[in-house]
Chain A
Amino acid sequence: MAEIKEAVKEKSMVIQKEMLADLFTELSTAKENGKKVVYTFVPGNLTELILAMDMLPVYPEINALQSGMRKKSGSYIKDAEKVGFSEDVCTYVKCDIGMMLNGNIGPTGEKLPPPDMLLLSYTGCFTFMKWFENLERLYPGVEIAMLHTPYQEDGKITDDQVKYMIKQLTDDVIPKMEKVAGKKLDYDRLSKMLENSAKAEDLWVKVLQSAKSTPSPIDAYFAGVYYMGPMNTAFRGTEKAVEYYQELLNEITERQQLGLHPVTPEGEMKEERFRLVVEGPPNWTNFREFWKIFYDMGAVIVASTYTKVGGLYDQGFRHDPDKPLESLAKYCMGCYTNLNLPQRVDLLEYYIKEYKADGFLINSIKSCNSFSAGQLLMMREVEQRCGIPVGFIESDLVDPRYFSYANIKNRLESYFQMLGQRKVIMEQEVNAD
């Protein structure tokens, strides 16, 4: 297994770390301080609504991925399997349930408070519904609200869908949240938060788009998953998030102006040999080793779909303080995995062309049908349309049994070899002209 050196920290990373530490401290003292806790999901989250009612969000997928990174997920998954969950199902669910069976100890080592409310707002994945049905049974009697987000089956968001979502919000979800929070929703406060959301979203898009330059100053996948954290979780809508993204953008703009390469856990990359677009979530159990295979080969991810699971801001969507509920509805429906397959292929084509990628890679996740079912056809379509080499590897989010380092490394090395040869041929062709 690859040896990894100590990570190098930038100021924005320090800010993010503080934000997270504060949140987990708040969570650990939530019960004493009378704060209500809402369990909810990342894609299609209603963070601003939760925060506007002074409640605290907990995201089970984030706990699962953190468990993966802390090498705890393997045993959690096995514990869930012992109580009857099949080996075949989504490992995020099993990791989360295993964590609960083991005392619900969160990423900072502190116990997470049990939920006062389960807010089943979810996007682009059927399994989320099953997940919360299971949670509801683990926490019987807890208030539960469901926001059904229709799929963009026809490649667009229709008026009927928006109306359906707003009606669910006004007639069911918000009244239940108000009941738990013990207060009415202050729409002015919500709008103010959405204004902050839009500001942070503008900055986040600029961060993402910095990868259009050559060399790219960021890795939009491996580092991108850190960058997207505040946006996709408990901080969207806060001033702190705006501050974080401003700082991040400043750092990245500076790097861009200096022509610097992305920062990795082992310092700055020295060269950009390949520019890749990646589809699919990363693996968390061996995240650093996985990343290292790329940066050791000079491969930079210039755009990824995974960083869009919490919203497709780079395609123009912004939360709208003047239309709070409508924009929350559209936000939920616009997340990446709620796009139909033709839309997903179009988006990949756009990224490949716009970010001048040399290659397209899929990391297919065993657990996640929402991402994985159909990826092989998507790969063919992308290959046909863009004429660039495509690669395909398989792993899992948090089940270490499905991460084979040697296998993935071999495949990626062959793939990078192919990309290298193609580059040489293309350069020769250009010189011959």
Chain B
Amino acid sequence: MTEIPHRLNAILEECKALAFDLNFTAAKDWKKAGKDRLLVGYLPIYIPREVVHAANGLAVGIMGGGDRKQIIKGDAYYQSYICHLPRGVVEMALDTNLESFDGFLFPSICDCVRNLSGMFKLLKKGKFTRYFDYPQNFEKHIGGTFYSELIETIMRDMFQLNGVQVTPEKLNHSIGLYNTNRRLIEAIYNIRQEFPWRLSAVDTYHVLRAGITIPVERHNEILQEVVDIIEEEQGEPLDNIRVIISGSFCEQPPIGLIKSVEMAGCYIIDDDFMLGSRWIQGDIDDSSGDPLNEIVNAFLTKSAPSSAVYDVGNPRAARLVEQVKARNADGVIFCAASFCDPALLDRPEMQKACDAGHIAHINFQFHENTGQFKVIKEQAGTFSDSIKLWV
């Protein structure tokens, strides 16, 4: 039995180091190890990484500088009332962190990220820079067609750099690998739903975030090992409440914040921290003759609820309530980055839905480099106590 914690600790250490290596050493080493390999950085939230993989590329998630990157130049690029994430990213771009990246993708999530794509162009970063404008129309022949064309543009960008043709076979193979990746991630969340003490939220976060910095093949090995280990009993259950964190899908809360919430007596049994890696809910068909079409369909019909997607007809507030029930959660913590329009404009409606469903909730705002968590810990502690008292 002592073997298992030892193995788990080793994996967690590896993941922790990978997750916060803002020099992306593993990704850069991967690129060096083979001819025609491409590094494609992407901002939160989602891009179809399968396509990059099939073009002999590695899609590397750039989630901001967090509290690990000292902002020297970045602040001079942003007014005080703009969220923190883009200034960390600009800092990295102006420093050496993103050297040897071939291209950058900026998924459509808000105007800050959109304009950041233009800043990369003005600063001449990357051999290609694309704003990844997901369709907000979900009809196959309208939004679907537009989305296919968007993906094909990115394939052309990559082809021009390395001459690698994405064949249906290659794309199916990549889809298969990412299906495994998503399944294993969901397996971790499902185990944690019942036995949240077996892997802390902080450790889960490290395991997921590590995955956006390394090849999916290696991440799948890591995930499989974690799943194998936590399928067995680990640790001791505590008298904690069970919460879902909502609103941290882009700028990431500092680890200290996640830790504080846990220490205040909350098991975080679901969250939207690494939403991009969990975006497609379920598998994408990996045996089709037209795999690109399958990727498009998956986006149109299997996207996770998110503030990035027009949600009339399928409201994300209702889906949050369903998630609370499905995960058997006691409450929701709304935890959005300061100045984050998408998260903060969605919050009132989601709070209303929670009220209507008699779901307890509290709310924090943070910056990725917040250093003080005393207040958050106290608030989360009070929240936990009140739920324990009344539920």
Contacts and interface: CB of A to CB of B under 8 A. Distances in A.
Are A and B interaction partners?
A: yes
Nearest to A341: B118
Contacts of A148: 135-137, 143, 310
A115 interface: no
A88 B340 contact: yes
Contacts of B114: 126, 151, 153, 373
Interface centre among A93, A161, A369, A370, by most chain B C-beta atoms within 10 angstroms, is: A369
Contacts of A167: 141-142, 145
A136 interface: yes
Interface string A353-385: 000000000001010011011111110010000
Contacts of B365: 86, 88
Contacts of B72: none
Interface stretch (A9-17, A58-66, A127-135, A196-204): A127-135
A85 B352 CA distance: 12
A374 B118 contact: yes
B131 A153 contact: yes
Interface stretch (B168-176, B220-228, B325-333, B341-349): B341-349
Interface in B147-203: 149
A376 B348 contact: no
A164 B142 contact: yes
Given A93-B345, A134-B345, A153-B117, A373 B112 contact: yes
Interface residues of A, number: 52
A376 to B, nearest CB: 5
Interface string A180-198: 0000000000000000000
B55 to A, nearest CB: 19
B344 A146 contact: no
A86 B344 contact: yes
Contact of A373 (B76, B78, B348): B78
A342 B122 contact: yes
B122 A381 contact: yes
Contact of A137 (B137, B342, B349): B349
A341 B341 contact: no
A126 B341 contact: yes
Contacts of B137: 146, 148, 164, 168, 172
A372 B79 contact: yes
Interface in B97-131: 108-112, 114-119, 121-123, 130-131
B310 A376 contact: no
A160 interface: yes
A150 B146 CA distance: 10
A84 B351 contact: yes
A160 B122 contact: no
B205 interface: no
B30 interface: no
B312 interface: yes
B344 A345 contact: no
A207 B344 CA distance: 40
B94 to A, nearest CB: 11
B79 A364 contact: yes
B373 interface: no
B86 interface: yes
Contacts of A154: 130
B10 interface: no
A112 B121 CA distance: 44
B115 A341 contact: yes
Contacts of A364: 79
18 contacts: A84-B352, A88-B338, A88-B339, A126-B110, A126-B341, A127-B111, A129-B136, A131-B345, A146-B137, A146-B310, A148-B137, A167-B145, A168-B137, A172-B137, A340-B117, A342-B121, A369-B115, A376-B78
Given A144-B312, A366-B79, 7 more contacts: A89-B345, A90-B341, A93-B345, A168-B142, A373-B86, A374-B77, A376-B77
Interface of B: 76-79, 81-82, 86, 108-112, 114-119, 121-123, 130-131, 133, 135-137, 139, 141-143, 145-146, 149, 307, 310-312, 336, 338-342, 344-349, 351-352, 365
Closest A-B pairs by Cβ, 3 of them: A341-B118, A84-B348, A153-B131
